Amino acid sequence: MLTEFKIPEVGENISSGTAVKINVTVGQAVKKDQSLMELETDKATIEVPSTVSGVIKEILIKEGTRVKVGQVIMKIDDGAAAAPVKPVAAPIQQSTAPASKAAAPTVAPAQAAKGASMIIEFKIPDVGENIRSGNAVKINVTVGQAVKKDQALLELETDKATIEVPSSVTGIIKEILIKEGTKVNVGQVVMKIETGATVPAAPAFVPKTTAAPAPTVTAAASQPAALVVQTPIIVTKEVAAAPSVRRLARELGINVGQVAGTGPGGRISKEDVKAHAKRLITAGPVSAAVATPPLPDFAKYGEVERKPMNNIRKKTAEHLANAWSSIPHVTQFDKADSTQLENLRKKHSTPEKKLSITPFLMKIIAAALKEFPQFNASVDMASGEIILKKFYNVGIAVDTPNGLVVPVIRDVEKKAALDLSQELNTLAEKARDKKLTIEDMRGGTFTISNLGGIGGTNFTPIVNWPEVAILGVARAQIEPKFDKASGQFTPVFMLPLSLSYDHRLIDGADGARFLRWICEAIEKPTLFSELG
């Protein structure tokens, strides 16, 4: 009997998916529960198993085709394959008993006779919740090598760990389909292993799945039964993009529905998301990507005055809007006992020349960047690379009557604190006199924004793109600190610090360690002062 195989219902509110891989060919004998294709939905890529044993007579779709639930995609002659698969196949029954939990790895039999060898398609197993892909950093076997069940075939590097992927069978490696360094997806065939028919082929990992109802056979008046399998999957908005692509878009703050896909049927790839992000960045202000609604007529409510933005204010607005929209910000807060630093500052200050704490902070920052190089970096999403800088140029945010500017002091680690103070005063004066050049504000790797001279307890500074972190400094306050040795409270200067950083590159734990390192260095400033 010729069975029309249809795309089954795979979850609530899921009406379609993409046939990313077809695992069979016309004329191939298949068994019940053997994977016919891989269907990619919004949340997961799942294998669609055959509901009968038979021979593939016709394949009606191609890889990359968008298919709908209930669409006929193959025709299977279940009578022609009944004899060869009799030892392992069970007849189809109309029953409501639960189906088996998971299918075995896809098997392409070399021969159907008892005792003959079989070719197992070894796929990347489900290695953890929400892990859909990884890098094959090391392949431990070669073609022709005999392997045992549970022997490590390769090392897979995921977002959280590097794990060994064991073989699910004992046999001989017949083909290796990937190279070291290749990015692979869960469910992707990476090797073919020849194993004897008597060798068990149980998978090392059992995919996490919910037992589904048995296939329901629906008979039509003039055509064979249509078989429907139900597997619950939860998804969101229907967009032709893989879960990994959606995650990248979320990390970049991009609406994946606004990205133009270049794949089959408008499918969106990671490269499409990166190209979209690059276009938004190079386009300038956020208003180029997001329409700004018109302002109301404020003159209806009272007197108003319109004042044009100067060039510095315009550029500041564009730059900060771009930084805020393209960088996922996190701000870490802490306090440091700056009593010793205050004493050191006062010791070297004169009525004519008042020394601030900023030069000392610059020295500490330069030392911290050496200890934590990911803070002295930039993120290149277009190429998927991290740019680590081997120089330490610190920008200092300067408030001027014309707006905020950030002159940069180069090679901070090579200069003494007093020299940094003199250079900073020179640049600040140039800024107030509108004499800063473009070169004076280029090449920074980290920025400090010190509002202590004005006031405030804490604030959230915006990362100065293309840098990945910025330190905000508020006004130090005298606070009581408990001394364990004396059992008494003593007055100390506590300096509030705010560290904002790019969460694409820097994790929360790293941010906390970096800021704590700075706090401890502030409490021992003579180690980094180098007054000269």
Q: Which long-range contacts (CB under 8 A, 24 or more apart) does 175-178 make?
A: 175/143, 176/139, 176/141, 176/142, 176/143, 178/136, 178/139
From CA 78, how far away is CA 57, in angstroms rounded?
Answer: 10
Closest CA to 246 of 344, 130, 340: 130
Catalytic residue among 319, 329, 348, 503: 503
Sequential DSSP letters for 291-307: PPPPPP-GGGTS-----
Are the CB atoms for 412 and 360 separated by under 8 Å?
Answer: no
Sequential DSSP letters for 109-175: ES--STT-EEEEEEE----STT--EEEEEEE---TT-EE-TT-EEEEEE-SS-EEEEE-SS-EEEEE
From CA 408, how far away is CA 249, in angstroms rounded?
Answer: 32
Sign of the four-CA dihedral 280, 284, 286, 290: negative
| Secondary structure percentages of the chain, helix, strand, coil, to 5 | 20, 30, 50
Sign of the four-CA dihedral 164, 165, 168, 173: negative
Question: Which of the 8 DSSP states describes residue 348?
Answer: T
Closest CA to 133 of 277, 270, 271: 270
Tally the C-alpha atoms within 13 A of residue 52's C-alpha that lie toward its C-beta: 28
From CA 65, how far away is CA 78, in angstroms rounded?
Answer: 25
Tally the C-alpha atoms within 13 A of residue 516's C-alpha that lie toward its C-beta: 6
- Coil, strand or helix at 1: coil
Question: Which of the 8 DSSP states describes residue 419?
Answer: H
Strand partners, 45: 40
Are the CB atoms for 24 and 76 separated by under 8 Å?
Answer: no
- Coil, strand or helix at 477: strand
319 belongs to the catalytic site: no
Are the CB atoms for 441 and 407 separated by under 8 Å?
Answer: yes
- ω before 109 within 30° of 0 (cis)? no
Q: Which long-range contacts (CB under 8 A, 24 or more apart) does 280-284 make?
A: 280/254, 280/325, 280/326, 281/322, 281/326, 284/318, 284/322
The catalytic residue positions are 503
